[in-house]
Amino acid sequence: MELEALLNYPRALPAMSRTVSDLLAEMNKEDPSPKRVAGLVAQDPALTTRVLRLSNSAFFRVSRQIGSADEAVALLGMTHVRSLVMAAALGSSFKNVPGVDLMQFWRYSLRVADISRSLAALLRQNEGNAFTAGLVHAIGDLLMHIAMPDLIGPIDMGTPPLDLRRADVERATLGYSYADVGAAMAEKWQFPAVIVSALKNQASPFEDDSYDPLGGVLHLASWRARAEEIRLDEGGLAATFPDMVGLSLGLDLDSVLGKDPTEWSFSQALSAFID
C-alpha cells in the first residue's frame, strides 16, 4: 500500500473530538489563553480524567496532587498540557489494534517520552516538544497495523515492532516506515512543525540533507527504550549504540544511559491509555 493510500484509508486516522480540535486551535495561537484551555479540558469528563492521571503520575513529580484542569495548566504549563491532551486523545482513540500489544506499546512510548525529555534538558532543547514527540513517535505503527494487517503481519514475524532494525526493514519492504506515517499524521493533526520534522527524521536524523537535533533525541531515546524492552545486556548496549547520532549531539553511551527513567513501569501513567 502506498503511503498516500494508507493515510486516506478509512478509520486509519482516528477521528479527533471537537474538544480536542478546539484545544489544538487555542494552543496553536501565538498567545493561548490558559483559562480557555483549562475550560475546554473540563468540558470533557473523560479527557479530564486521563489528563489528571498523567499529571499526577511519576513523570511530573509534582509537589501536590493536581485535582483540576486549571491546576494542571497552572502547575505544568501550556506545553506539557498540550502533550497531555494529545496523549489522552490518542489513548482513547486506539482501543484494539490487530497484532499490537497495546500495554507494551504505550509503556514503551512513555519510556521514550521520559528519556527524550531528559535528553532535551541536557541539550537545552525544548523539553515539552521532546516529551510530546517521544510519546507519539511510533504512532504510525498503530496506523499501519490497522490499515494493512496482511502486509504488516509478515514483517512482524521476521522483525517484531520493537526490534532495533524495524524502521529499516519497513522502508526496504514498503518504501516508507512508521516514522513517515507518524509525521504525516502529526501534520494532519496540526502538531508544531518542529515535532513533525523530528518524527519524519527520527530514523536518520543527520543523514543526507537532514540536520534534526530533536530527531536525534528521538533516535537515541527510542534506541534506549527498545534496548530495555528486549533486555539487552551491557555488551549488547555497547554494540548497538547509535554512535554517529550520539556524536552529532555530543552524547556518548554513558550520557544516554544516565537518563534512564527512575521508574520503568509507569503504571499510573499507563492507566490513561489502558482502561
What CATH code is assigned to 95-275? 1.10.3210.10
C-alpha 258/C-alpha 268 separation (Å) is 23
C-alpha 256/C-alpha 238 separation (Å) is 11
Digit-coded pLDDT (tens) for 163-217: 999 999 999 999 999 999 999 988 887 788 999 999 999 999 999 888 999 999 9
Q: Which residue has the cell 554512535?
A: 243
C-alpha 160/C-alpha 272 separation (Å) is 25
Query: Is the separation of the CB atoms in 165 and 203 below 8 Å?
Result: no
The count of residues in the chain is 275
C-alpha 113/C-alpha 142 separation (Å) is 17
Digit-coded pLDDT (tens) for 213-264: 999 999 999 999 999 999 999 999 999 999 999 999 999 999 999 999 988 8
**Taking Cα atoms as reference points, which of 142, 151, 139, 137 lies closest to residue 2?**
151
Q: What is the reported pLDDT for 20?
A: 81
**Terminal-residue alpha carbon distance, the chain:** 32
Q: What is the reported pLDDT for 250?
A: 97
Q: What is the reported pLDDT for 74?
A: 86
Give residue 44's pLDDT band: very low, low, confident or very high (50, 70, 90): confident
Q: Where are the domains of the chain?
A: 16-93, 95-275
DSSP track, 216-271: HHHHHHHHHHHHHHTT--HHHHHHH--HHHHHHHT--HHHHHTT--S-SS-HHHHT
* Mean pLDDT, the chain, integer: 89
Q: What is the reported pLDDT for 219?
A: 98
In this prediction the pTM is 0.90
